[in-house]
Amino acid sequence: MIDQLAITASAAEWLPAARQLAGELQLRCLDCAEPSRLDAPAFVLQRGERLQLCATGRKAPGPVFVDFVGGTAAHRRKYGGGKGQQIAKAVGLRSGFYPGVVDATAGLGRDAFVLASLGCKVHMLERNPVVRALLRDGLERLQNAALEDVELAPIAQRLGLEESDVSARDWLQDQAPESIPVVYLDPMFPERGKSAGVKKEMAAFHQLVGSDEDADGLLEPALAACYYRTVVKRPRLAPCLAGRKPALSLEGKSGRFDIYTKHGVPG
């Protein structure tokens, strides 16, 4: 990753923050270099009003960033279907019951934000330091927006990020048995080639981050740590995690939620 990535600033005022981030991630800082004018490295993290991952070169796709305030997150928060969404059903959410969730493979935090917006307290784990930096930036902007938006304030309070470098497997193994109401897993699945359903910028993101080849090792520690259930999000035709059949599955057009139950959720 070090050979593929560097840090830049969108303007001179962001240079101190860019250089600080470069030190934290042990990456080169290219000062205010414009991503579209670079031939190498393949990606830069650009520090500006928001932190964003940019592919370099003239024909590069758009940037990848975490946005919990506007865009898709805002639309889904307002019009996404509330408790009727499959993810809400998968974690067992119902009126009067909003289980705490550990999202052990948070990625860009989209599902974590949905669950937090529906009332669950969500703790995100993300082992990739670049993705974790994007999440941290998104959370900071959410918290700033929440100071003036009464609808965002409770969501910001319910959404948190683990700052340590520990892997999800080790973190889960360190938890007391049955101490987490719900563990949620959405490991990065290998791309199936050029799919029209995968935006170019997300394809570039997957290229940098890679797939979670060790994802099968997450299931047992998740099952040991959870109290009610472990929920695994999978592509619709993907094999079950660790080859273990779930108690039940909720299928959609392109994906499914495999649910491994332990104790029944309150009725």
Helix/strand/coil for 22: helix
Phi, psi of 211 (to 5 degrees): -95, 160
Q: Is 58 annotated as a binding residue?
A: no
Angle between helices 110-117 and 71-79 (to 10 degrees): 40
Q: What is d(CA 225, CA 57) in angstroms, rounded to the nearest whole number?
A: 45
Q: Is 67 annotated as a binding residue?
A: no
Q: Is 220 annotated as a binding residue?
A: no
Residue 248: name the closest of 85, 91, 80, 102 by CA. Answer: 91
Q: What is d(CA 254, CA 241) in angstroms, rounded to the nearest whole number?
A: 17
Containing 202, the helix (H) or strand (E) segment is: helix 200-209
Taking CA atoms, 35 is separated from 7, 126, 143, in Å, by: 10, 26, 28
Q: What is d(CA 164, CA 187) in angstroms, rounded to the nearest whole number?
A: 19
What is the Cα Rg of the chain in Å? Answer: 19
Q: Is 251 annotated as a binding residue?
A: no
Question: Which residues in 117-148 are b (16+ Cβ under 10 Å) and which e?
Answer: bbbbbbbbbbbbebbbbbbbbbbebbeebbee
Q: Is 110 annotated as a binding residue?
A: yes
* Binding-site residue set: 110-111, 126-127, 186
* Binding-site residue set for S-adenosyl-L-methionine: 110-111, 126-127, 186
